[in-house]
Each structure stands twice: as C-alpha cells, then as structure tokens.
C-alpha cells in the first residue's frame, strides 16, 4: 500500500521517523529534522551573532551531520557565526588516521577551516602507546580525560568562544542512566544541560540534544554525506555498551523513552545541603580541577612513572599509595582558560 506523507499530505512517504513514527517524504523529513535542531538552538539561545564556534569533528556520522546542518542553518537563518572544524588525533592506527582523512574531505566539502590537535604533541603519548602500557581495560579513561582537555586546548589555539559537539539524544539518555546507576549526583545534575560553563569559559554545547541517533543516520544516508563509520579498535565491552543495548530495547518498545529519560534527568534537583566538589585550579597545568592536580596530569604522571594505575579511581587515595606529585613540573602546556576536568569526553 502506498502511503502519503503526513506532513505535506502530497508526496509518497518513504520514511518512518524513528522519533515520532510519522510517515514522511524525503523533503519533509529533511525539513523537520533541520527545523527541530534550529528550534533547539533558538530556544536555548546557543549562539550570539559574531560567535566563533568550533565543531568537534571526528569524521563520524554525528559530527559530520552537525557540520553540514550548522553550516546550512547558519546560512538559512543568518546566525552570523563563524564555524571551524576542530579534530583530535588520539593516535589510534587504523582508526583515527582513517577518520581524519574523512574530516579533511569534509573540510573541502564544507569549506571550513580545520585544526587538528594530537595527543602526542600535548601529552607526549598517543593511544597506541597508552594501550600498550595500560591494556584494554582503562584505556578509555585516559582517552576521554585527554580528549576533553585537548578540545579545550584546541579551542584556545583557534581562539573560538564555543565548542559544539555531536552528542545526540541517545548519548544523553545513556549518560543519565549511567549516572543514576553509579549514584553520581554531581554529574546527574548537569549531564542534561545543553550548554555547560559560564561567560568567562569556553562554552560547550550539544545542538543534537533532542535529535535521535537513528534520524542522524537516516539524514546522513539520504543526503549521501561523507562520513566514517568504523568502531574504534580499542572500543571495549564497556558499561556504556550495556546501557546502550538496554536503551535500544526500550526505544524498540516505546520510541519516546529516550526523550522521557532526558526530561527526567532535567527534572532532577539536588537536595539542599548536598555538598559538591569545590573547583580549583590544577597546580601543575592550570586547568580547572576539584583536586590539587587535574585528572590529565595525574594520568600522565602515572604513564611517565610507569605506574599507569596512578590516575585510575580516587585520585587522592592513589596518590597516597604511590607517592605525591611534585608541583610545577608541567608536562602538559599551561592552560589559560577555565574549563573543568571533572567530566571525561565520550568519543
Ligand atoms: Fe578513545 Fe573512544 Fe577508542 Fe576508547 S573507544 S580508546 S575513548 S576513541
Ligand atoms: Zn512531505
Ligand atoms: Zn593539570
């Protein structure tokens, strides 16, 4: 049976929207997909005219669609922002080198300036070397902490005001569930924020907060966007992976479950009197940290001392066990901005 698009009531429907289960034609799907993202940007006042915005670009579907759609919306609605691509080279042979080739093609296709910052130049270690040292159990802790700082440091080099990431609704719902299961109330209270950090910091935001992963894949597929779809070779059978499977099962039964979980996360409020970590500055590199030393410095110290477990788990406990860190021996360049190391960046 031929179905008609429920949006224009004219064309033949060829898509069933995963988010709403509406039957839509291709053009109407593009239009609602882009308009929902535009509405999220406007409702949350993400950009100001003249903002310099770096898109965290990995070459994967999310950041490729983000670059394509932001460029399009910036022109269509005249946001007046200047867009850049910012990529992190973790040094993963057979994965990141290939995906960076995709980003380089995207740079040409979208005509945007590109900056690539590597772990080797910032930390003196790449992920291939780190995995050799630490194995495949805690590699993503190193990678996530290093990536968060690398993005901020790349943003400082590009002199941008704002970093946007391709985290989508599925990613955020997963994070809400993970924080509930870990009882991590500090992260739970802020993981659904669309935009983190205040005026004097590099803002970080997620324009795809309400965009379903399946719709991003559909959009990329129908638009024939050039993206890289291979999994990281060091991707573990992680906790997040189990949560993802659980969420996909829920979505199969009730597609709106993803949005409901995000709304539940937004509704959480911390009880008065709950103590949260106090933010200070890393004594070594100047990055914001709730401990004496930021997580990246402790992880790096562990690698350099041949004690990779130093930064895994509670920092203070591990420093007591393995001996403290000498101050002032910065191995990571001094950081001049004020973002926090308290969250590791999901890849
Ligand atoms: Fe890094 Fe992601 Fe690969 Fe883990 S799975 S090593 S966080 S790129
Ligand atoms: Zn239509
Ligand atoms: Zn530090």
Instruction: Give the DSSP letter of residue 309.
Output: G
Which residue has the least CA distance to atom 7 on ligand 1? 140
Which among 346, 345, 336, 341 has a CA at the least distance from the CA of 295?
341
Answer yes or no: is the C-beta of 90 below 6 A from any ligand 1 atom: yes
- From the centroid of its chain, how far is CA 279? 22
What is the per-residue pLDDT across 83-102, written as a single tens digit (0 to 9) for each?
999 999 999 999 999 999 99
Quick one: which ligand is closest to 291's CA?
3
Which residue has the least CA distance to atom 5 on ligand 1? 235
Answer yes or no: is the C-beta of 127 below 6 A from any ligand 1 atom: yes
Residue 79: CB atoms within 10 A of its CB come to: 21
Question: Alpha-carbon distance 308 to 310, whole Å?
Answer: 5
Q: Are 67 and 57 in contact (CB under 8 A)?
A: yes
Which residue has the least CA distance to atom 4 on ligand 1? 140
Q: Within a 13 Å sphere around the CA of 46, how many CA atoms are in the beta-carbon half?
A: 27
Q: What residues pair up with 86 in beta bridges, in sequence order?
A: 56, 115
Q: Distance, CA 90 to ligand 1 centroid (Å)? A: 9
Answer yes or no: is the C-beta of 119 below 6 A from any ligand 1 atom: no
Closest ligand 1 atom number to CA of residue 232: 3
State the binding site for ATP: 56-58, 62, 88, 166, 171
Residues with Cβ within 5 Å of ion ligand 2? 5, 7-8, 11, 25, 28
Query: Radius of gyration of the chain from Cα atoms?
Result: 21
Answer yes or no: is the C-beta of 234 below 6 A from any ligand 1 atom: yes
Q: Are 255 and 173 in contact (CB under 8 A)?
A: no
Question: Alpha-carbon distance 141 to 138, whole Å?
Answer: 5
Quick one: which ligand is closest to 327's CA?
3
Residue 289's pLDDT is what? Answer: 87
Q: What is the DSSP string of 3-30?
A: PBPTTTSSSBP-EE-TTT--EE-HHHHH
What is the per-residue pLDDT across 219-253, written as a single tens digit (0 to 9) for each?
999 999 999 999 899 987 678 889 999 999 999 99
Q: Which residues contact 276 (CB under 8 A, 6 or more apart)?
A: 186, 270
In the chain, CATH 3.40.50.620 sits at 26-276
Q: Residue 84 in 3-state DSSP?
A: strand
Residue 347's pLDDT is what? Answer: 72
Residue 343's pLDDT is what? Answer: 63
Q: What is the DSSP string of 227-255?
A: ---PPPTT--S-HHHHHHHHHHHHHHH-T
Q: Distance, CA 346 to ligand 1 centroid (Å)? A: 8
Q: Residue 151 in 3-state DSSP?
A: helix
Q: Distance, CA 204 to ligand 3 centroid (Å)? A: 20
Question: Alpha-carbon distance 70 to 56, whole Å?
Answer: 12
Q: Distance, CA 136 to ligand 3 centroid (Å)? A: 24
- Which residues of the chain carry a pLDDT beneath 70? 197-201, 237, 313-331, 333-343
Quote the pTM value. Answer: 0.91
Task: Give the number of residues written for the chain.
Answer: 347
Question: Alpha-carbon distance 92 to 170, whole Å?
Answer: 25
Name the class of domain 26-276: alpha beta
């Amino acid at each position: 049976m031929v179905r008609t698009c429920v949006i224009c009531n004219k064309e033949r429907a060829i898509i069933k929207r995963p988010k709403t289960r509406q039957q839509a034609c291709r053009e109407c799907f593009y239009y609602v997909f882009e308009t929902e993202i535009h509405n999220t940007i406007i409702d949350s006042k993400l950009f100001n005219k003249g903002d310099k915005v770096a898109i965290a670009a990995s070459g994967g579907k999310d950041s490729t669609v983000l670059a394509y759609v932001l460029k399009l919306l910036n022109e269509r609605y005249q946001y007046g922002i200047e867009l850049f691509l910012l990529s992190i080279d973790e040094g993963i042979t057979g994965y990141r080198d290939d995906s960076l080739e995709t980003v380089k093609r995207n740079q040409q296709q979208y005509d945007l300036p590109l900056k690539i910052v590597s772990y080797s130049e910032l930390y003196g270690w790449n992920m291939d070397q780190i995995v050799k040292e630490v194995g495949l159990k805690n590699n993503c802790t190193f990678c996530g902490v290093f990536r968060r700082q690398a993005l901020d440091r790349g943003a400082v080099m590009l002199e941008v005001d704002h970093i946007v990431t391709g985290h989508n609704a599925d990613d955020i719902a997963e994070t809400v569930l993970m924080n509930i299961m870990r009882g991590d109330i500090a992260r739970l209270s802020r993981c659904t924020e669309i935009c983190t950090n205040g005026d004097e910091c590099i803002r970080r935001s997620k324009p795809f907060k309400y965009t379903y992963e399946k719709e991003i894949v559909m959009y990329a597929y129908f638009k024939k966007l050039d993206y890289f779809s291979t999994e990281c070779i060091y991707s573990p059978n992680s906790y997040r992976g189990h949560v993802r499977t659980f969420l996909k099962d829920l979505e199969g039964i009730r597609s709106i479950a993803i949005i409901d979980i995000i709304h539940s996360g937004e509704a959480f409020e911390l009880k008065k009197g709950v103590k949260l970590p106090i933010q200070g500055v890393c004594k070594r590199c100047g990055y914001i940290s709730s401990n004496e030393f930021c997580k990246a410095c402790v992880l790096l110290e562990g690698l350099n001392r041949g004690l990779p477990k130093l930064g895994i788990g509670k920092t203070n406990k591990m420093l007591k066990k393995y001996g403290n860190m000498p101050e002032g021996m910065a191995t990571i360049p001094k950081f001049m901005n004020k973002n926090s190391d308290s969250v590791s960046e999901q890849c």
